[in-house]
Amino acid sequence: MSDGSERQPASARWLDCRGRRLPLDGRPLVMGVLNVTPDSFSDGGRYVMPAVALDRARSMVEAGCDIVDVGGESTRPGADPVDVATETERVVPVVEALARELDVPVSVDTRKAEVMEAAVAAGASFINDVEALRGEGSLETAARLGVPVCLMHMRGEPRTMQRAVVYEDVVADVLGFLERRVEAARRAGIPDERLVVDPGFGFGKRLEDNLALLAGLHRFSALGLPVLVGLSRKSMIGDLIGRPVDERLSASLALAVLAAERGARIVRVHDVEATVDALRVTQAILEMDEQ
Ligand code: HH2
């Protein structure tokens, strides 16, 4: 276990997804969103059939995506939870098809230990948990499954998370939370090489909180772990420019670039091709900065 002093900088590492190694020292990795839900805020209802989901995933991979994130439960503000059986039925056939057919790792976006287990058995090689392994049995399950895990900050739970939001200092609060979850993950036996952190844009945060988090994103690199961000098409963009979900590409790209500039190593997006282009040119400048 690391005491922090010998921790490698996030920029010098690989993320090992069951033998598929994702480099963390080049342009930020692009995680393509594939929601197999009827009700997700952006792509709900479009990719529920495994064949359609596979087509969508293939086109994201052709567009340059490094990892595909499959989710079977919407976590948009106000969303109702789904039961384990429903989520498993949605996710497992799609994960199975993607893991068989694609050359990139498949991530499962879930906060349930049972779904993590079933998805990894079906071929998933990354766990993306918006509850940072706080669900029953999740820590132990993720430790045993041996795949990388993203620990995300969320205040409360999706149904209620936007009610009465108040932070004293949102960056310090979210950092403190992630520090505690990283510690819990280490104690459960998950090594740093398998940990990723995410401040959780839009999860129990007001516009001003989201803006402060992005402005202070560079501070999260102090955790010594790769930082993932999900900003694509989110309501903070709608709040700023008043455009509907399908007209938020330009603003999403601006936020992806700003996040990359502030040290994000993985960017979770709906629009893969445009984001890869934006991040490639960003990376060229960042590498000049480092010289
Ligand atoms: N955002 C969403 C879902 N999962 N995971 C991480 N690590 N970070 C995020 O910011 C994040 C996430 C919400 O977006 P989406 O999946 O498009 O919508 P929905 O939750 O409605 O399915």
pLDDT digits (tens, 9 = 90+) for 134-155: 999 999 999 999 999 999 999 8
Q: Which atom of ligand 1 is nearest to the CA of 41?
A: 21
In the reported structure, the alpha carbon of residue 3 is separated from the centroid of ligand 1 by a whole-number distance in angstroms of 31
| pLDDT value for 166 | 83
Task: Output b/e per residue, 235-256; b: 16+ Cβ within 10 A.
Answer: bbbbeeeeeeeeebbebbbebb
**By the 8 A CB rule, do 148 and 190 touch?**
no
Ligand 1 pocket list (CB less than 6 A): 33, 35, 37, 40-42, 71, 74-76, 109, 128, 130, 150, 152, 198, 200-201, 228, 230, 268
Can 205 be counted among the known catalytic residues? no
Percent of the chain with pLDDT over 90: 82
Tokens read off for 73: 């439960």
Consecutive H or E run containing 144: helix 138-145
Checking if the pLDDT of 40 tops 60, the result is yes
- DSSP class of residue 6? T
88-113 pLDDT, tens digit each: 999 999 999 999 999 999 999 999 99
Among 60, 75, 159, name the best residue to mutate to test ligand 1's pocket (greatest count of ligand atoms within 8 A of Cβ). Answer: 75
Ligand 1 centroid – CA 116 distance (Å) = 16
Quick one: tokens of 59?
Answer: 């086109």
Query: What is the pLDDT confidence band of residue 49, given thresholds at 50, 70 and 90?
Result: confident
Q: DSSP string of 20-64?
A: EEEESSSSPEEEEEEE-SS--TTTTTTS-SHHHHHHHHHHHHHTT
Q: Catalytic residue among 205, 234, 248, 265, which?
A: 234
Residue 116 tokens read as 């993590």
pLDDT tens digits for 210-257? Answer: 999 999 999 999 999 999 999 999 999 999 999 999 999 999 999 999
In angstroms, rounded to a whole number, what is the distance separating the alpha carbons of residues 152 and 155?
10
